[in-house]
Structure 1
Amino acid sequence: MEEELLIAFDSTQQALRAEMLLEYAEIEIDIFPTPKEITAGCAMSIQFGQQALEEVREIVREQNVEIRGIFGKLKDGSGYTMIED
């Protein structure tokens, strides 16, 4: 099964903007509650598949979307770790 990654945000405005941009790029995403292990100013995160990581990075960078970071699940399933900010 493919690993799911999560983008966390400091503001709802940036989360909604990222959602629109990623959907426009036809990247399969899910809106996901920000896990309590991730300290962020927004309760909404975006989940996407590992195979879309490079395209997501490019969109975030080119469109200047402000994110808290991109997170992946720990191998033991106990939480999340930041893979980039």
Structure 2
Amino acid sequence: MDSHMLIAFDSTQQALRAEMLLEYADIDIDIRPTPKQITAGCALSIEFPSDQLDEVKSIILSEQVEIRGIFARQQDEYTEVAIG
């Protein structure tokens, strides 16, 4: 089973902007509700394969997308990953 990561946002506007940028970069993403374990200001999160983390981080940083954080999922636990 492939490992996935999750980007959480503080605003829907930033979530939709990130969706557009990541789709343009041909990154395989899914929009999903933000898990209740992650405190965020937006109900939308973006899930992506963990092997694309470096490319996702590069896009987020270069395009200055405002995010709550990137989280790795292990079963039902979410751990924040440093992006800087």
Global fold match (TM > 0.5): yes
Q: Percent identity?
A: 61
SS at match of 2:35: coil
**Matched ranges for 1:51-70 at <5 A:** 51-70=51-70
> In structure 2, what residue type is equivalent to 1:27?
I
Matched positions, count:
83
| Unmatched 5+ stretches in structure 2 | none
- Counterparts of 2:49 and 2:12 in 1: how far apart (Å)? 21
Q: Cα distance, 1:19 vs. partner?
A: 0.1
Q: TM-score, normalised by structure 1?
A: 0.93
| Unmatched 5+ stretches in structure 1 | none
Q: What corresponds to 2:21 in structure 1?
A: 21
**Matched ranges for 1:22-41 at <5 A:** 22-41=22-41
- Counterparts of 2:82 and 2:19 in 1: how far apart (Å)? 19
- Counterparts of 1:11 and 1:21 in 2: how far apart (Å)? 16
> In structure 1, what residue type is equivalent to 2:66?
E
SS at match of 2:72: strand
Supply the RMSD in Å over aligned alpha carbons: 0.9
Q: Cα distance, 1:2 vs. partner?
A: 1.6
List, as ranges, runs of 4+ consecutive aligned residues in structure 1 with deviation greater than 2 Å: none
Q: What corresponds to 2:5 in structure 1?
A: 5
